[in-house]
Amino acid sequence: MLFHQARARRIMAEQRIDALVATSPDNVTYATGYWAMSHWARPGGPQVYAVIPVDGGGSACVITGSGNLDLVVDGEAWVTETYRYGFFSTRTDGPDLPALERSYAALLSAPDHGDAAGALVAALRDRKLERGRLAVEETAIQPAVLERVRAELPGAQIVPGARVFREIRTLKTPEEIERLRGAVRVTERGIAAALRVAAPGVAERALLAEFDRAVLAEGGVPVSSMCIGSGPRSAYSNCQAGDRRLAAGEVIRFDGGVRFRWYRSDIARIAALGDPGDKATRYYAALRAGAERAIEAIRPGVKTAEIFRVAMDTVRREGIPHYERGHVGHGIGINNYDAPDLAPASAEVLEEGMVLCVETPYYELGWAGLQLENTVVVRAHGAEPLVSLDNGLCVV
Amino acid sequence: MLFHQARARRIMAEQRIDALVATSPDNVTYATGYWAMSHWARPGGPQVYAVIPVDGGGSACVITGSGNLDLVVDGEAWVTETYRYGFFSTRTDGPDLPALERSYAALLSAPDHGDAAGALVAALRDRKLERGRLAVEETAIQPAVLERVRAELPGAQIVPGARVFREIRTLKTPEEIERLRGAVRVTERGIAAALRVAAPGVAERALLAEFDRAVLAEGGVPVSSMCIGSGPRSAYSNCQAGDRRLAAGEVIRFDGGVRFRWYRSDIARIAALGDPGDKATRYYAALRAGAERAIEAIRPGVKTAEIFRVAMDTVRREGIPHYERGHVGHGIGINNYDAPDLAPASAEVLEEGMVLCVETPYYELGWAGLQLENTVVVRAHGAEPLVSLDNGLCVV
């Protein structure tokens, strides 16, 4: 299961939360396994929610449009109790329907709650949450729906839920780690495929095409978040592969990832077309040392601010004295910026089961961008690497 | 340009709006051409806005995190005035920077407004909008940011903006139509590629892989919104290609599309592995007639409810007397459910420049799903088709 039940239970108890209400695509899928295509494809559009009551507070359920009910039975959802809303016509009176079709027909024949607010209120009432403390993810529910819930359940105490979900998601379940491992693997193969066509005169765009092709072939989804920039363009932090042609002696910066079974990757590597020169070699060595020392410092109980300090001190000492960064990494999961932040002002402490992207990027306009980014699982003994690519500057 | 300036001007005048504030990825890109990767990749996360004052009310501008500024200069944005927030380190003091790098460096050296709310408030104040009527797209701005704006600009009147953007986007500019045409073309080629491997014994998943491969090769982005279902699975409205193997005499239903230069497609076709039998042939003929008569009825001035009536009456008369639907289509653009809805209760009237998906799907559990969906531009004389695939049931 993706949802970390034990952690959710503890956080809900600590914060006296009677139910979680997920409203974003990420958190609905995380909490229930239910993936509603239109919810993912049109953020801000179709309203889909999940209600997760505290233990003993009733069953978890999904609130969704009637046209999305097929994906409750024909998918990977482990929460299959639904409240539906809206008209949707599917003929269900055929003879001898198979079991899956019978389940789907049963969902379609349940009462129509009219609209998303009506269905959500019904789900909350059925769980006797009229006076409950509800952590409602406030960032994806339509404001008008939230107003209706407040009006119809005036005794309920509604608190911001996005940060509660973020807190729960901080520690990963084994299933999540497997998906993250898969996302990394697919991304590595994409980078390797792109590098097989890298040569002077080849356009950046051709590398991205190879990356995307390999990602698809490996079961990943390219989601327009792999940055590929060559030469001076590598200094643009979000560089999108374009028509620029590679030249000998230049670096190519890869940063980003894919989606794999809804989970994300974010890794970075530098390649060079032949010798990239003394400065790039020295600077890259410093950045690499910073990222490697930071990962060596990872273990449960260490402050994230300490990981930041180790990375920064190392890079500055090893060759880039003017190095500056706002953070040296972040958690990753179904969202590609999960907690914790590896940042100087962060008060967070590493725990077993976190999955971290550790990165030391450096951008210098008119020259180049250099970066190493790896992904690790925080284990009892230290960091378990998910990336198998070599940390060195890859000369092609 | 994607943004329909003339239509925006008219709607803002009618509704006495002093400025539009876009907050969703779709509408920021629509209004400015600015595509901020992390804004698109992580809905609900990074805050990016666009402020579009009424004519004479000052310049349009973008509010974005400092780490996203490269995409203002290195992309397709036509609005390049920015308000930045947050720390981001890029070395900009190199000698003889090229023009693009100098532009980027200038953006990086502008004042840091601290956070998204601070930057948005500064942009509004600079445009003397403290007492203005602001249409703020309420569905993607973080609630805490909107609270800060209300607190710091107590004289501003904030009205819901999502429906205003939707209204503006209803009529497409020539540039939008070209992108929609491209999205359709890419999707058609994907379906054709998938059908080239369709044969008894082949898994649905193999068809999707061919679809995705062809889409990428044609410059599109497969965004997990093409449904492919075979045999009885075609009756699941959102059917995701799975391990089921095709068999002779079965139908395959394709429904959905891709993203192409941020614009969407949504088309549907039915293929059959040999003769699908009398019922499927008759039913498909009725659905096809409904979709074709509906498109023939399209011209400026016709009510969308009338298009719905034509489609429904035709399908029922031509062979499916029990046919029921909530709608027979919708607009499409940068969002794949733009206005108008082709629905019975809709009061909308067709106008030149709308782009419509017209569809007559039919789902019967335990048997099959059948569907024809085309995309057309509403022109002065009638509907201009964007799809070139044959409307017939494709026997492979």
Q: Please indicate whether, in this complex, the C-beta atoms of A89 and B326 are within 8 angstroms of each other.
A: yes
d(CA B169, CA B66): 29
pLDDT at residue B395 in the model: 95
Q: Please indicate whether, in this complex, the C-beta atoms of B37 and A160 are within 8 angstroms of each other.
A: no
Is A41 an interface residue toward B (CB < 8 Å)? yes
Of B162, B179, B223, the C-alpha closest to B33 is: B179
Task: Check whether B145 has a pLDDT greater than 90.
Answer: yes
Crossing angle of helices A162-169 and A25-32, in 10° steps, is 50
Q: Please indicate whether, in this complex, the C-beta atoms of B45 and A70 are within 8 angstroms of each other.
A: no
Of A20, A133, A112, A15, the C-alpha closest to A69 is: A112
Classify the complex by whether its ipTM is higher than 0.90, answering yes or no: yes
Is A15 an interface residue toward B (CB < 8 Å)? no
Contacts of B44 in chain A (CB under 8 A): 24, 26, 43, 139-140, 162
Q: In which residue are the tokens 């890419």 written? A: B186
Contacts of B88 in chain A (CB under 8 A): 237, 326
CA distance B301 to chain A (A): 27
Alpha-carbon separation of residue A33 from A36, A62, A75, A137, A331 (angstroms): 10, 10, 8, 17, 21
Same domain flag for A100 and A224:
no
Nearest to A325 among B70, B89, B95 (CB): B89
Same domain flag for A61 and A205:
no
Same domain flag for B182 and B311:
yes
Query: Most B CBs within 10 Å: which of A27, A28, A42, A70, as the mutation test of the B interface?
Result: A70
Beta pairing, strands B133-136 & B157-160: parallel
User: What is the H or E stretch that residue B117 is in?
Assistant: helix B116-126
Q: What is the CATH number of the domain that holds B298?
A: 3.90.230.10
Contacts of A104 in chain B (CB under 8 A): 236, 365
Nearest to B139 among A37, A91, A142 (CB): A142
Q: What percentage of residues in chain B have a pLDDT greater than 70?
A: 100
Same domain flag for B120 and B248:
no
Same domain flag for A270 and A185:
yes
d(CA A285, CA A315): 9
Is A58 an interface residue toward B (CB < 8 Å)? no
Q: Which amino acid is at B379?
A: R
pLDDT at residue B288 in the model: 98
Q: Of A145, A169, A193, which closes a domain?
A: A169
Contacts of B322 in chain A (CB under 8 A): 91
d(CA A176, CA A184): 12
CB A333 within 8 A of CB A172: yes
Same domain flag for B17 and B134:
yes
Determine the longest span between alpha carbons in chain A, in angstroms. 76
Please work out, in degrees rounded to the nearest 5, the angle formed at the alpha carbon of residue B168 by the alpha carbons of B125 and B258.
110
Is B115 an interface residue toward A (CB < 8 Å)? no
Number of domains in chain B: 2
Contacts of A99 in chain B (CB under 8 A): none
CA distance B363 to chain A (A): 5
Of B307, B353, B304, B348, the C-alpha closest to B180 is: B353
Same domain flag for A159 and A192:
no
Beta strands in chain A (DSSP E): 19-22, 49-53, 61-65, 82-85, 133-136, 157-160, 226-230, 251-256, 259-260, 263-264, 267-272, 329-331, 338-341, 355-359, 362-364, 368-370, 373-379, 382-385, 394-395
pLDDT at residue B57 in the model: 87
Give the single-character DSSP code of B65: E
Nearest to A326 among B89, B160, B363 (CB): B89
| Helices vs. strands in chain B: H and E counts, helices first | 12, 19
Is A188 an interface residue toward B (CB < 8 Å)? no
Q: What is the CATH number of the domain that holds B113?
A: 3.40.350.10
Give the single-character DSSP code of B323: -
Is B227 an interface residue toward A (CB < 8 Å)? yes
Same domain flag for A147 and A279:
no
d(CA B208, CA B191): 9
pLDDT at residue A42 in the model: 85
Q: Please indicate whether, in this complex, the C-beta atoms of B213 and A216 are within 8 angstroms of each other.
A: yes
Contacts of A98 in chain B (CB under 8 A): 232, 366
Q: In which residue are the tokens 């601070």 written? A: B118
CA distance A128 to chain B (A): 27
Q: Of B127, B145, B168, which closes a domain?
A: B168
Task: Check whether B44 has a pLDDT greater than 90.
Answer: no
pLDDT at residue B95 in the model: 85
- pLDDT per residue, tens digit, chain A (396 aa), is 999 999 999 999 999 999 999 999 999 999 999 999 999 988 888 999 999 999 888 999 999 999 999 999 999 999 999 999 999 999 999 889 999 999 999 999 999 999 999 999 999 999 999 999 999 999 899 999 999 999 999 999 999 999 999 999 999 999 999 999 999 999 999 999 999 999 999 999 999 999 999 999 999 998 888 999 999 999 999 999 999 999 999 999 999 999 999 999 999 999 999 999 999 999 999 999 999 999 999 999 999 999 999 999 999 999 999 999 999 999 999 999 999 999 999 899 999 999 999 999 999 999 999 999 999 999 999 999 999 999 999 999
CB B263 within 8 A of CB B183: yes
Cα-Cα-Cα-Cα dihedral of B280, B283, B284, B287, to 10°? -160
Same domain flag for A82 and A130:
yes
Nearest to B224 among A26, A221, A233 (CB): A221
CA distance B196 to chain A (A): 18
Each residue's pLDDT tens digit, B155-164: 999 999 999 9
Is A45 an interface residue toward B (CB < 8 Å)? yes
Task: Check whether B43 has a pLDDT greater than 90.
Answer: no
Q: Of B168, B197, B217, which closes a domain?
A: B168
Three-state secondary-structure class, residue A63: strand
Is B109 an interface residue toward A (CB < 8 Å)? no
Is B238 an interface residue toward A (CB < 8 Å)? yes
Is A199 an interface residue toward B (CB < 8 Å)? no
Query: Most B CBs within 10 Å: which of A71, A139, A264, as the mutation test of the B interface?
Result: A139
d(CA A146, CA A157): 12
The token pair at B202 is 């082949």
The token pair at B131 is 């007492």
Is A163 an interface residue toward B (CB < 8 Å)? no
Q: Please indicate whether, in this complex, the C-beta atoms of B91 and A322 are within 8 angstroms of each other.
A: yes
Nearest to A225 among B26, B37, B144 (CB): B37
Read off the pLDDT band of B174 (50, 70, 90).
Answer: very high
CB B312 within 8 A of CB B331: no
Is B57 an interface residue toward A (CB < 8 Å)? no
Alpha-carbon separation of residue B142 from A141, A142, A253, B210, B350 (angstroms): 11, 11, 32, 39, 35
pLDDT at residue A223 in the model: 81
Read off the pLDDT band of B384 (50, 70, 90).
Answer: very high
Alpha-carbon separation of residue A161 from B204, B337, B351 (angstroms): 39, 28, 42
Q: What is the pTM of this model?
A: 0.97
Alpha-carbon separation of residue A58 from A111, A149, B144 (angstroms): 19, 19, 31
Half-sphere exposure of B245 (CA within 13 A, CB side): 6
Read off the pLDDT band of B351 (50, 70, 90).
Answer: very high
Same domain flag for B286 and B390:
yes
pLDDT at residue B106 in the model: 97
- Phi/psi for A252 (5° steps) reads -125, 125
Same domain flag for A20 and A137:
yes
CA distance B160 to chain A (A): 10
Same domain flag for A185 and A158:
no
pLDDT at residue B186 in the model: 98
Q: What percentage of residues in chain B have a pLDDT greater than 90?
A: 95
Q: Please indicate whether, in this complex, the C-beta atoms of B91 and A143 are within 8 angstroms of each other.
A: no
Is B104 an interface residue toward A (CB < 8 Å)? yes
Q: Please indicate whether, in this complex, the C-beta atoms of A221 and B222 are within 8 angstroms of each other.
A: yes
Of A46, A61, A68, A63, the C-alpha closest to A113 is: A63
Q: Please indicate whether, in this complex, the C-beta atoms of A240 and B89 are within 8 angstroms of each other.
A: no
Among all residues of chain A, which has the CA nearest to that of B95? A366
Residue B73: which domain range? 5-168
- Phi/psi for B49 (5° steps) reads -130, 165
Mean pLDDT along residues B123-142? 96
